[in-house]
Amino acid sequence: MNFYIAIDDTDNIGTAGTGEILENLIVELSDKFETSFSRVTRHQLLVHKDIKYTSHNSSMCSSAFVDTSIIPFIIDHSIEFLTKNCAEGSDPGLCIVDIDKVNDNGVEKIKKWGSDAKRNVLCKKDAYLLAKETGIHLSEHGGTGDGIIGALAGIGLRLSGNDGRFKGKFDLDVKNGFIKVRDILLSPSIDIVTTECGSKLSPDDEVFITDKLKTILKDHKSVLMIRKNKEGHWENLSRKELKVY
């Protein structure tokens, strides 16, 4: 992917969530600019008394391959969309990166910003300084504009390839609760089935499906995490168990 877009702090209690807003935005961008965006990933940031957030303090990110020449138009359309669709009283931030124009050192600094946002309270001034240094787009669109901190963090964490959960859940055609790994991998939403310690299953191994399936971002792939249950069967991790990602 050469293009990344992330938003944060666009919602309030009782309004469309930030993930839904980004999904709606990339649908419009896909139609208008005839490109295909990746599924949205949710990235958990630090929860702290000095950080304003709606419920969980998470940032949302998506990516695509686009012609560099249309990125300024994507930025303009995204700003217009957020201005119209963000909740009253929210503090929206938008970050858009043409990764082909950021050198390796800049990419590492963006990744570090993302990891720091999971552990420390960061500030807008430093976010803008990093955006200027790396040549990326960072803008605020209401309220305090503190959403730029999380939006930039969302890009960094997505670039790391090892953070976050893919938004949404889906079903598979499961009989009697079990499904073979080879059939799981027929889903375009799942790249790998692996244990928590990183061991891959064989195509003929069976997994007991216990919950709506969700995947995480690991090694830049959409990964279904599984473990052994009390009966000794492989079983997918529940939504609650995946919150650590």
Same-domain check for residues 99 and 214: no
Q: Which of 133, 165, 197 delimits the end of a domain? A: 165
Same-domain check for residues 98 and 155: yes
User: What does the pLDDT average to over 194-221?
Assistant: 91
Same-domain check for residues 226 and 148: no
Beta bridge partners of 216: 165, 223
Same-domain check for residues 90 and 184: no
Same-domain check for residues 36 and 97: yes
Are the CB atoms for 30 and 36 separated by under 8 Å?
A: yes
Same-domain check for residues 120 and 234: no
What's the total number of domains in the chain? 2
| pLDDT tens track for 132-186 | 999 999 999 988 888 999 999 999 999 999 999 999 877 787 767 899 999 999 9
Q: Residue 39 class from Cβ within 10 Å (0-12 exposed, 13-18 middle, 19+ buried)?
A: middle
Helix axes 104-117, 124-134, angle to 10 degrees: 160
The phi and psi torsions of 232 (rounded to 5 degrees) equal 85, 10
Q: Which of 165, 181, 207 delimits the end of a domain? A: 165
Q: Quick one: which of 215, 220, 237, 235 has its CA closest to 165?
A: 215
DSSP notation for 76-97: HHHHHHHHHHSPTT---EEEEE
CATH number of the CATH domain containing 30: 3.30.70.2200
**In which domain, by residue range, is 139 found?**
3-165
| pLDDT tens track for 12-53 | 545 567 889 999 999 999 999 999 999 999 999 987 665 665
